[in-house]
Structure 1
Amino acid sequence: MSASVYDSALYAGLFGAPDMARLVSDTAELRAMMIVEGALAKVQGDLGLIPQTAGNAIHRAALELQIDPGGLARETGRSAVPVPALVAAFRTEMQAPDHAAWLHYGATSQDIVDTALALRLRQALALAEAGLHRVLGGLARLAGMHAETPMAGRTYGQAATVTGFGAMAASWGTPLLAARDEMPALRARVLRVSLSGAAGTLSAMGEAGPDVRAGLAAALGLVDPGRSWHAERDGIAALSAWAGRVTGATGRMGEDLLLLTQSGIEEVALPGTGGSSTMPQKRNPVMPSLLVALARTGTALDAALQGAQLHRQQRDGAAWMTEWMVLPQVLMGLARSLAVAGDLAEGIAPRPDAMRAAIAAGGGLIHAEALSFALARQMPRPEAQDAVRALCAEVAGGAGSLAELAGARFPQLDIGALFRPEAQLGRAPAEARAFAARVRALPEPEAFPGA
């Protein structure tokens, strides 16, 4: 077994998220750090903090040089951060010592690592937004198409009252819609440049420091926080919590689909199922199960990243390393959850006949609440409830269906109309259509340039 399912060739078809995997690779990390170093030197050269020719040469080299991550492993293991080894290799590969001497001027390793992370998180959030858009589109289609498709609403695993499948699809999507609405604020917290120097004072750059930071932010298309945030990890924690809510929402969708597809219910058909090595009849709900597993894992990983906010003094190696170990897995789980949820949202097929059969099952007891409120318009409500409870007990004893017994006991009621499932949908169709309309009004997700 691989150390991580996300790195496994065997499990790639189950857990793989290729686009996100490229963003959390060693190659992408080094490339982003080199871009940051190059942009920093160019800004410093333009501001006269270092020779402009050196700044331009470093910037050009950052875009052209190729550095092997494996060649930095030994020094990274010694320093516990890859930047010293990267800077040394960069200077060697430039073959221009007079220019290379100005590389990494006034910065510290955390400036480079955190800013490079922001560049990759910009792309990661773009992928997540596209994934959300796809899931929401599929759920909106289901919600609109099945706004008036009645099904049994279940509480504590038991039939309660009638609801609509469209409303259920909308309930899966509403938390995802909220997560999408939060993305501008999340980007503002996460996509920040870091340039603060050794202990957060930016002293090595003197009075030019704030201008360099602002210029670097502009060059990279990131936010200038106007201060040091080395030890303030609330942005990463917010990203992790947001990802946890997204995977939690898709996991809840998975839980519901597991129940809706189980033997004896089968109210939904899945777009793809798994087989058994020994039971030919099995059609296992693999994709919903995967959503649940990813949600549970995401919750555990989020706890680690929330704990990494306990960042001691001006820099805390232990807290920082925790982020490196956990954040890539959070992003991979997020991407895979959205891909699987998108496949399901676009591919599941409700079975209205099975849904109606579930409503009719159990002697029609699902209509008990509607009956009690109809009777309450003709007698005190406590009496109406007592009368319906008595009828429910008779149904449970095998005396007949609730419709038959109520029709005999209360002939003044139009039982046929009262027990018609569509008559009991309440606000479910309106909520389903409102959700679908909100999704249709969304703009297309923006495409962000690669870092």
Structure 2
Amino acid sequence: MSVSVFEHPFLSQLLGEDAIAAQFDASAEIRAMLRFEAALAAAQAAEGLIPKAAGDAIGKVCEALEPDFDALGQATLRDGLCVPELIRQLRMAVAPGHAAHVHFGATSQDVIDTALVLRLKTVLEILTGRLGELERRLEGLGDRFGGNRLMAHTRMQQALPIRVADKITAWRRPIAGLAQTAGPLGDRVLRLQLGGPVGTLEGMGDKAQAVGDRMAADLGLAFDGCWHTDRQALVELAGWFSLLTGALGKIGKDVTLMAQNEVGAIALSGGGGSSAMAHKNNPVAAEILVTLAGFNATLIPGMHSTLVHENERSGSAWTLEWMLLPQMAVTAGAALATAKRLIDSIDNIGTDTQGGDGP
């Protein structure tokens, strides 16, 4: 048994998503942190803040280091984060003459926030790619069944006949909008965090901007100064995750209603069975889309709470963000995978106006 459905041996198959979840496991996080440290050392060496030999040595160790995860866990209990222990292990791994140049001028939040952003970059690439695939599947669904007739319902009552194409257009509209906003949102989210102990980078003097620019180019991010207490972009991203699951939840809700026996407006293959009623074909995928939409919606207020950072750094708001944002990303990924499975299972929608059989 697991506390999290995303890690449960059975429920994770229904509600989880491996490709997104992999971006939030401990190994991926540490690799991203070491990428930050290697980029920091290389940029500082290029700007003459540390010796070139030190920059090269630190970069090589970052590529090869296999941290002691048990020690990282014990240190996190003490320090509230793993970075001080990771830096200690990194300094132990480089030659003694270079150890003092590891993590020069940076702070734990620089490492953690940039490591998060690096992984969110991959998450966004996966999700936007799947959005495009889903748009194409919905387009194909329209090509197959768009001319069929379907009874519209307003306020759960029969209204007027529509075409299936009208229903699919309503499904596609928010999906297309989310695809269009993903790029601008990524521009706001995918930024290097580099501020030093209190956000001023005073340890790097007049080389701070140049170091940040070099690091950002190395890591494929933007750099526009320190944003360590400004979490708006991450909260916007959480909102985008919820909008995505909500748009897919709308599709799921419509399908569950159309699949009712007394409505019979859609035919699905591969539905879920019942332990007591062999005749049932439960619209499991559609139901899960509704569930995932509801789950992400419940986490939005928590993410808005993470906007409140006291002074120059908050331990509590920051930690709450760690608890919420990864779950929202995995939920968005699971919803897209489930939506693909649902669309692929649709055998027919509506009634063929050319005289063919309906569902």
TM (norm. structure 1) is 0.77
Report the secondary structure of 2:81's partner residue: coil
* C-alpha deviation, 1:354, in angstroms: 8.5
2:103 and 2:211 map into 1 onto residues whose CA distance is 13
Q: CA-to-partner distance for each residue in 1:336-360, whole Å, 9 max, x for gaps?
A: 0000111222331224349999xx9
Q: In the TM superposition, what are the counterparts of 1:249-288 in structure 2 within 5 Å? A: 249-288=247-286
Q: Distance in 2 between matches of 1:93 and 1:5?
A: 38
Count residues in correspondence: 356
Partner of 1:132: 131
Q: Secondary structure at the match of 1:262?
A: coil
**CA separation in 2, counterparts of 1:170 and 1:228?**
42
Identity %: 35
Instruction: State which of 336, 343, 346 in structure 1 corresponds to 2:344.
Output: 346
Q: Give the C-alpha shift of residue 230 in structure 1.
A: 0.5
Q: CA deviation at 1:168?
A: 0.8
Q: Quick one: distance in 1 between partners of 2:278 and 2:214?
A: 64
Q: Which residue of 2 aligns with 1:400?
A: none
1:397-408 alignment to 2 at 5 Å? none
Distance 1:355 1:102, change over 3 A: farther
Distance 1:351 1:249, change over 3 A: closer
SS in 2 for 1:153: strand
Q: Deviation digits for residues 298-340 of structure 1, max 9, x if unmatched?
A: 0011221122111221111111001100111001100000001
* Partner Cα distance (1:223, 1:205) in 2: 19
Instruction: Look up the match of 1:112.
Output: 111
Indicate the SS of the match to 2:98.
Answer: helix
- Residue 182 of structure 1 aligns to a residue whose secondary structure is helix
Q: Is the 2:258–2:265 Cα contact (8 Å) retained in structure 1?
A: yes
For residues 194-228 of structure 1, what are the alpha-carbon distances to aligned partners after superposition, in whole Å with 9 as ceiling and x for unaligned?
Answer: 11111111101111111111111011010111x21
Matched-pair contact (CA < 8 Å) for 2:146–2:165: yes
Say whether the 8 Å CA contact 1:38–1:58 is kept in structure 2: yes
Contact 1:30–1:69 under 8 Å retained in 2: no
Kept in 2, the 8 Å contact 1:251–1:293? The answer is yes
Indicate conservation of the 8 Å contact 1:24/1:328, yes or no: yes
Structure 1 residues 323, 164: CA separation in 2 closer, same or farther (over 3 Å shift)? Answer: same
2:85 aligned partner: 85
SS in 1 for 2:6: helix
Check 1:80–1:267 CA distance in 2 against 1; reply closer, same or farther (3 A cut).
same
Q: Amino acid of the residue matched to residue 304 of structure 2?
A: Q
Shift of 1:67: 1.4
Mapping 1:18-29, distance limit 5 Å: 18-29=18-29
Distance, in Å, in 1 between the alignment partners of 2:70 and 2:170 is 47
Contact 1:274 1:286 in 2 (8 A): yes
List gaps (5 residues or longer) in structure 1.
Answer: 361-451
Give runs of ≥4 in structure 1 deviating > 3 Å: 351-357
Which letter does structure 2 place at the counterpart of 1:22? A
CA distance in 2, matches of 1:171, 1:254: 13
SS in 1 for 2:151: strand
Q: CA–CA distance in 2 between the matches of 1:166 and 1:177?
A: 16
- TM-score normalized by the length of structure 2: 0.96
Asked if the contact 1:38–1:62 (Cα under 8 Å) also holds between the matched residues in 2, the reply is yes
Highest Rg: 1 or 2? 1
- SS class of match (1:6): coil
